[in-house]
């Protein structure tokens, strides 16, 4: 079972996060810290106590934007220790996902936090620590009640209103990915699932533990390895042209050869083709043109 520290400088959100964590049978204890200074003090005490000590912490659920040190700053400090606690970022800002996973975060959960999404983050932490996975409880509905109608909010607190999704364009969705049908891929945008047609994807770019799907309308960041998409979408005409890029063959507008280097133009983007993939790509394009 997990010993957890939750860190958020917004008290209502911290209380809600702690309530959800304490409701999960896989969590042995969940304590809160309302700023970076308090969080570092508790984490330091945990490190001094040792992994099996009374003050030990297995996982830190960490907000990013806080006064003083940010959650990313805390994660960088912890990376210097031999056995730091695991990090799960819980934030309203989707733009730091790549940095978060470069810091070896276990998961990246967008606010507003849904119980089932938080349960998935707990599962990933259990898996990484090799802890036995207990079946999580049935999540509360958005109104703060179970199906029985009994209140489920934190003791003594009124139900929190559901936070609204910011109006700015959400180009980097939360990390959950699933196929709705063979022709679509689902991405979560701050709790709203949007289905993107695979036929609309021009190319895919590897970004750390993520892949960014590029369409004519914008891009979507999903947590799935580029190698998995390469295997899954090969029959749909997607080809690997570089360790960082997977391209829909039918969306290539130009093939350029210049001083021994090869590149392709896909819409307004120019993408480099590695030497090991250049010959195969030229052969595929020739067969497509003559077929």
What confidence score (pLDDT) does residue 101 get? Answer: 85
Residue 259 three-state SS: coil
What confidence score (pLDDT) does residue 274 get? Answer: 94
What confidence score (pLDDT) does residue 83 get? Answer: 87
What confidence score (pLDDT) does residue 164 get? Answer: 40
How many CB atoms are closer than 10 A to CB 106? 23
What confidence score (pLDDT) does residue 57 get? Answer: 94
Residues with pLDDT less than 70, the chain: 131-182, 188-193, 209, 291
- Model confidence, pTM: 0.51
Structural tokens at position 18:
């702690």
What confidence score (pLDDT) does residue 264 get? Answer: 94
Task: State the DSSP code for 114.
Answer: P
What confidence score (pLDDT) does residue 186 get? Answer: 76
For the purposes of burial, counting CB atoms within 10 Å of the CB of 289, is it exposed (0-12), middle (13-18) or buried (19 or more)? exposed
The CA distance from 95 to 125, in Å, is 22
Residue 235 three-state SS: helix
Tell me the CA distances in angstroms from 211 to 36, 81, 111, 237, one per residue in order. Answer: 31, 29, 21, 18
Angle at alpha carbon of residue 244, lines to 243 and 248, rounded to 5° = 100
What confidence score (pLDDT) does residue 143 get? Answer: 42
What confidence score (pLDDT) does residue 189 get? Answer: 61
The CA distance from 201 to 111, in Å, is 27
The CA distance from 168 to 199, in Å, is 26
Q: Which residues 6+ apart lie within 8 Å of 155 measured at CB?
A: none
């Amino acid at each position: 079972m997990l010993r957890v520290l939750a860190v958020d400088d917004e008290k209502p959100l911290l209380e809600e996060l702690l309530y959800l964590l304490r409701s999960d049978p896989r969590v042995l204890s969940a304590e809160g810290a309302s700023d970076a200074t308090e969080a570092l003090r508790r984490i330091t005490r945990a490190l001094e106590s040792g992994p099996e000590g009374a003050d030990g912490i297995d996982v830190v659920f960490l907000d990013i934007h806080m006064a003083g040190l940010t959650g990313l700053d805390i994660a960088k400090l912890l990376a210097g220790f031999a056995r730091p606690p695991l990090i799960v970022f819980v934030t309203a800002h989707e733009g730091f996902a790549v940095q978060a996973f470069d810091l070896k975060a276990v998961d990246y959960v967008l606010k507003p936090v849904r119980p089932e999404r938080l349960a998935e983050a707990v599962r990933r932490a259990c898996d990484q620590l090799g802890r036995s996975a207990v079946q999580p409880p049935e999540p509360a509905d958005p109104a703060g009640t179970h199906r029985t109608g009994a209140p489920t909010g934190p003791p003594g607190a009124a139900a929190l209103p559901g936070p609204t999704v910011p109006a700015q364009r959400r180009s980097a969705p939360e990390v959950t990915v699933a196929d709705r049908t063979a022709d679509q891929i689902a991405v979560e945008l701050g709790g709203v699932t949007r289905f993107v047609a695979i036929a609309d994807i021009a190319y895919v770019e590897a970004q750390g533990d993520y892949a960014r799907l590029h369409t004519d309308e914008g891009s979507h960041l999903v947590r799935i390895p580029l190698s998995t998409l390469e295997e899954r979408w090969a029959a749909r005409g997607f080809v690997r042209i570089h360790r960082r890029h997977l391209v829909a063959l039918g969306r290539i507008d130009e093939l350029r050869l210049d001083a021994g280097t090869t590149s392709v133009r896909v819409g307004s983007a120019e993408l480099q083709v590695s030497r090991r993939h250049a010959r195969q790509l030229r052969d595929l394009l020739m067969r497509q043109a003559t077929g």
